[in-house]
Amino acid sequence: MFSIDLIQQIKEWKRGSTLPICLGCDVGGSGLRVRLSDFHDSAKYVDLGHAKAQKTAELLKVLEDLQQKILQVEPTTVCLGAAIAVAGPIKNNTVILTNWKGPAEERTLSITQLPKGLFPKDRSYFLNDLEAGAYGVIAAYEQSILEENFVQLFTDRAPTGPILAKGRTAVLAMGSGLGAALVTRTPLLKNPLVLPTELGHLQIAPNMATHKYFQDEQELIQHISDHYYGGKLDPEYEDICSGRGLQLAFQFYHKKLTGEVLPLEQIDAGDVAKKAIAGEKDAYNALRAHYIFYLRAAKAIATSLSCESCVLSLDNQVKNHPFVMKIAKELEEEFYEFIRPDWMTSVRVYSQKSILNFNILGTDYMAHA
């Protein structure tokens, strides 16, 4: 639940007889984050931090409690715009969240279930999380705070240029799932167009027999397929490029090194990343594979969507920044090794280097739209 002390700050935004606000909400694997902002000035905001929720019922309880607390702080508060970001494809204003566990009915959410006082009818947006992230990139661009949060990778292979391309930009995030959205700027439209995608679920393109990593990758992909698909089907990129994917990759490399099969519940993805950064071999190989496949997915996405720029965002990317820089040469090779090399010459890749929550920025941006 969110603290009422933080909510008190909204009182300062009262104008006349009412207190008009906007609400941005980002629902992640472990719970939700909320930003309240002044309807008249989005520069005035309060971030309420994180509240736990891993089921629809828990999420609704947190939001209903928030609605109550806001009215308790200031009974004249009126929410004039809201947006909520969720993982999974949204159809008919309904989503089955992909980053929560359990039966589908416990993680299904419709916009109509949200408390009306916080999510006003016809002024609320239900967004895919990467769609929100892409709006966050646009918001950061408009506020001139985009460039400072990224470093351009592979500058010996690609020209320098703006993160938000004049044409198309792919915004990617590898967290509890693998998300991707496209931003298109075109003279045909006044504003950039954001297209949410489900490209993290593309099936992996394996390397062929004479590739130097063929054997190692073949075994890893088989290990993942054995776990999810009875060894029959090619896994999706998210099966390795995600928290659960890193656990599985570590299980594979640890077994290869020691012969021991660790139960997945005993493997913490965050710990694996820390060990990898410290140079422990099994963890290093797991995190390396996690990023190699990420760049392979990025290559497929950037080429098939004709992107000039490819943005690797999220706090994990920031935490793993030293590791990414350490293996940058290998990642470069992976990214630019493509069957149509001439398509790759001008694709720019950016890696987030400092913490900025683009999903919250994007939901707030849309709440004010």
Q: Which residues sit at the interface with ligand BGC, rule CB under 6 A?
A: 87-89, 98-99, 128-130, 175, 177-179, 198, 200, 238
Among 241, 232, 222, smallest CA distance to 334 is for 241
The total of other beta-carbon atoms located within 10 Å of residue 54's CB is 18
Question: What's the closest the beta carbon of residue 45 comes to ligand BGC, in angstroms?
Answer: 24
The pair of structure tokens assigned to 50 is 């994180």
Cβ-based nearer residue to ligand BGC, 46 or 178: 178
CA distance 113 to 133: 23
Cβ-based nearer residue to ligand BGC, 117 or 362: 362
Question: What's the closest the beta carbon of residue 127 comes to ligand BGC, in angstroms?
Answer: 10
Cβ-based nearer residue to ligand BGC, 69 or 319: 319
Cβ-based nearer residue to ligand BGC, 129 or 280: 129
Q: Where are the beta strands (DSSP E) in the chain?
A: 19-27, 31-38, 41-52, 77-86, 94-96, 108-110, 124-128, 150-153, 168-174, 178-184, 193-197, 309-313, 348-352
Cβ-based nearer residue to ligand BGC, 1 or 355: 355
Question: What's the closest the beta carbon of residue 369 comes to ligand BGC, in angstroms?
Answer: 20
Rounded to an integer, what is the distance from CA 281 to the centroid of its chain?
A: 27
Question: What's the closest the beta carbon of residue 309 comes to ligand BGC, in angstroms?
Answer: 19
Question: What's the closest the beta carbon of residue 114 comes to ligand BGC, in angstroms?
Answer: 18
Q: Which helix (H) or strand (E) holds 142?
A: helix 129-142
Written as one letter, the residue type at 113 is Q
Cβ-based nearer residue to ligand BGC, 239 or 332: 239
Question: What's the closest the beta carbon of residue 118 comes to ligand BGC, in angstroms?
Answer: 22
CA distance 176 to 197: 16
